[in-house]
Structure 1
Amino acid sequence: MCIRREKRMLDIIKVIILGIVEGITEWLPVSSTGHLILVGDVLKPSMSAGFMEMFNVVIQLGAIMAVVVLYFHKLNPFSPKKTGKQKMLTWQMWIKVVIASVPAGVIGILFNDILDELFYKPFPVAVMLILYGALFIIIENRNAHRKPSVNRISDLTVPMLLWIGFFQMLALIPGTSRSGATIVGALIIGVSREIAAEFTFFLAIPAMFGASLIKLIKFGFHFTGAEFGLLMLGCVVSFGLSIVAIRFLMGYIKKHDFKVFGWYRIALGGIIVIYTGVQILLG
């Protein structure tokens, strides 16, 4: 009984750590899924592999609620505090979110299992961390003396939305970072950093709800009481840390570019390659 209680407490601590990792890394362009895979590989929670695969996705619901809370007025087309024009612009924004969500939605539904089987591993995560880290640095250096051509979400055209949606689709590969990919795509076409970050927050709402629903259906909703409690705990922790991470990012990019995240990704990817190589050598 004592051993079982200690094991349960250890799992609670591990879930709290995973919730912290998700809440911080979901909104910073460094790949939350990649970090969850890597941290989970180190922590090795006692839950089943199937549960952990589902947990790493559904825990994002906590992060999503942080966006809903922080941007509720901006997201709400029914707000009595908005004028008729403002309500119309809010509906237009949601239409833009839906359009940009189409590429990732279609590919995610068709190839979700294949992508998980191929790329849900440390080495592919490392490769994508390094690749997109380099892209951040290259793009920010290119944009250093350019003024953004898009400073409002209302300025985004359909071709721009599909371009951003294409980059969000690439984030189905773990290690890419959904926020990182969409921000990279937006920066390439001249969207300002603030709007690129804000729009990627809004794009996350249908993307994460959809991904979570797919994982829950695949898992079958067959939770034990303990598993459900751990899932809810992870979501609550993720929510709290996401509030902090979003506020930090939006304040940070008003004065800085994204290159620091690029260097972080490259460094982390290099560490993972070395770590994976040592594990292979040790057998």
Structure 2
Amino acid sequence: MPDWIYALILGVVEGLTEFIPVSSTGHLLLAKQALGLPGGFWDTFCVLIQLGAILAVAALYFTRLWAVATGLGSSPAARRFTFSVLAAFLPAAVLGLALHDVIKAVLFESPIVICISLIVGGVILIGIDRFAPAPKQTEAMDLPWKTAFGIGLFQCLAMIPGVSRSGATIVGSMLLGVEKRAAAEFSFFLAIPTMAGAFAVDAWRSRDQIDLDHAWIIAVGFVVSFAVALVVIKAMLAFVSRRGYAPFGWWRILVGAAGLAILSLR
């Protein structure tokens, strides 16, 4: 198949999975393995197209985010929200810079780690959906900075492919007393600096791998992931409000078990 079809497939996978707690990175890397794509450029591609999905958050929440940006000088609420997102972003920023090469060189090439992480994370999601403490915070844009920092520590677990950035932050949020819909929304907001930072670091460190031929392939994945994520974000909030997170947990277990079964036959 031509490269643009691979880019389209991976863009759809990214858009479908970035904001639901099933691990977009895990699904992307398993899809890359299933398609027989090598590492190197395609690992970088899987990181870079995540920015397309992140821009979907900025588009859907533009009015609220613009109000925050223009109100920083006059609104305590805007400053509190900005500080909480930065507090949550800080742990992953520090560890991500320190461990970038190890994560990409070792963990990105381990499908067994991804499958096990999917299964373990699925069990945790099912458990947290049933046994989470009663929520004390119901508004994603009004979290105390200490709660936000705790969520950021949970986000660091997502450096292991298969754990899921959104899954780790949602589980952490709910354990810290954030209502499930608000947990999802804060995960969306936190994704903006986290994934923008990951994009910038990976784009810079992989700049020698990206030429004009690669740029248009990345553009295909970028646009597709943006378009698909626009639909998924709206659908996820409605789904979570009705059904919770257990269905995502069962999906993770199914995909992880299927992956291990396929690996055992090789």
Q: Is this contact kept in 1: 2:15–2:53, CA < 8 A?
A: yes
Matched residue, 2:39:
49
Matched residue, 2:82:
94
Q: 1:78 to 1:198 in 2, by over 3 A?
A: closer
Alpha-carbon distance in structure 1 between the residues aligned to 2:188 and 2:211? 32
Alpha-carbon distance in structure 2 between the residues aligned to 1:178 and 1:188? 15
Alpha-carbon distance in structure 1 between the residues aligned to 2:235 and 2:149? 28
Q: 1:132 to 1:83 in 2, by over 3 A?
A: closer
Matched residue, 1:111:
99
Shift of the alpha carbon at 1:79? 7.2
Matched, 1:263 2:250: yes
User: Is the deviation greater in 163-172 or in 111-120?
Assistant: 111-120
Alpha-carbon distance in structure 1 between the residues aligned to 2:33 and 2:254? 19
Shift of the alpha carbon at 1:246? 0.3
Shift of the alpha carbon at 1:156? 2.1
Alpha-carbon distance in structure 1 between the residues aligned to 2:220 and 2:264? 34
Matched residue, 2:157:
170
**How large is the Cα RMSD of the aligned pairs?**
1.9
Matched residue, 2:52:
62
Alpha-carbon distance in structure 1 between the residues aligned to 2:149 and 2:184? 17
Shift of the alpha carbon at 1:64? 0.8
Gaps of 5+ in 2: none
User: Is the deviation greater in 165-174 or in 87-96?
Assistant: 87-96
Q: Is this contact kept in 1: 2:69–2:78, CA < 8 A?
A: no
Shift of the alpha carbon at 1:130? 0.9
User: TM-score normalized by structure 1?
Assistant: 0.88
Matched residue, 1:149:
136
The ranges of structure 1 where at least 4 consecutive aligned residues each deviate by more than 4 angstroms after the TM superposition are 82-85
Q: Is this contact kept in 2: 1:21–1:35, CA < 8 A?
A: yes
Cα deviation, 1:4-44, whole Å, max 9, x if unaligned, reads xxx5xx21111101000000000111001101101111112
Matched, 1:27 2:19: yes
3-state secondary structure, aligned to 1:254? helix
Cα deviation, 1:156-184, whole Å, max 9, x if unaligned, reads 22321121001111101100110011001
User: TM-score normalized by structure 2?
Assistant: 0.94
Identity of aligned residues (%): 37
Gaps of 5+ in 1: 1-6
Matched, 1:253 2:243: no
Say which one has the larger Rg: 1
Alpha-carbon distance in structure 2 between the residues aligned to 1:97 and 1:273? 36
